[in-house]
Structure formats: structure tokens, C-alpha cells
Amino acid sequence: MTERFIEVSLAKRGVHCTAKLLDDRAPLTCAAVWDALPLGGDVYHAKYARNEIYALFEPFASEEPPLENPTVTPIPGDLCYFSFNGTQLGTKSYGYNQAGGDVRAGAAVVDLALFYERNNLLLNGDLGWIPGIVWGSVVDGLDRMADACQDLWRAGALGESLTFRRV
């Protein structure tokens, strides 16, 4: 199979990076994401996992991908796929409903995440271990993206969007 690449961008900050899809390790997840592109939405910075930014989407795959190429310790440049139901993310502690988000009890949600620095651990105080599917790896521009993610952490995510598109 030919290598496939996507661009991950933060629009307001005018920064992007390029990632290679890991078709050999997560073929079903890569196919589901690729077929759904472009995808974009409000960006969030992780509360629990540390050095992670992500956007939430309605499910887009015809069938939920299995847990292929899983991790609970993502490294810098990993793109991860998570699937949650609204009960898992619908509590006030996450803040989505207060921000006018679409997360609600009973509704499924897909989380596409970018990890930009080391020392991440996918352990959530409410839910326990949260394995993610590693479906892509940043091959160019991670340094610029990491700087923008740090700015997002310190200055806030309000008004910023995270977009995934084919290259």
C-alpha cells in the first residue's frame, strides 16, 4: 500500500504538522479516519493525559474500529483514536456541557488526539486506564506544533480549532 499522509493544524495559531498514517499497524482505524476526512472541531487540551490536544466528533465509521495498535503511554507525535459514550464524558468535571459542547449522556463520541510531548499516561481518575489506538505518527513540524500546544495550554483553547485533512 502507498504511504498516506495527513495535515494536522491549529487554525487560529496558523500552525500545522504532517503525519504518516500507520496503515500497517492500525489498518481499520486508518481507513475509517481517512474516509471521513476532512475533520475539524473545537480543540481541547487534556486534563488527565498531560501533553495532548484533541477534538471530539460524532462517530464516522460504519463500524467502530477494534483496539488495534493500542497504547496507554503515547509518545510525542502519536495520533490516537478514542471512542467514548456520553456517560463516560458527560459529567460536569469534564466541562463539555458548560462550554456548550455536544457531549451528552448516551451519545457516542470519537476523540482524535495529538500527543506533542513526553510523559503521557492514559489513566483517568474517573474511568481508569483508557487505551488509545495509535493510527498516525507526526513526521514533520512537531516542534512548531508543540510550541503552539504549549501556548494553547497557557493561553487557552477558546476560539481555536483542530483540523485533520488529507495531504
Query: Which CATH number do you get for residue 39?
Result: 2.40.100.20
If you count them, how many residues does the chain have? 167
Q: Give dist(CA 128, CA 155) in Å, integer.
A: 29
Q: Give dist(CA 53, CA 64) in Å, integer.
A: 22
**Residue 101, pLDDT score:** 53
Overall pTM surpassing 0.85 (yes/no): yes
Q: Dump pLDDT digits (tens) for 76-90.
A: 999 999 998 867 766
**Residue 98, pLDDT score:** 46
**Residue 49, pLDDT score:** 86
Parts of the chain with a pLDDT under 50: 98-100
**Residue 127, pLDDT score:** 84
**Residue 124, pLDDT score:** 85
Q: Give dist(CA 42, CA 57) in Å, integer.
A: 10
| SS3 at position 110 | strand
Looking at the structure of the chain, the number of domains it has is 1
User: Which domain does 41 fall in, by range?
Assistant: 5-166
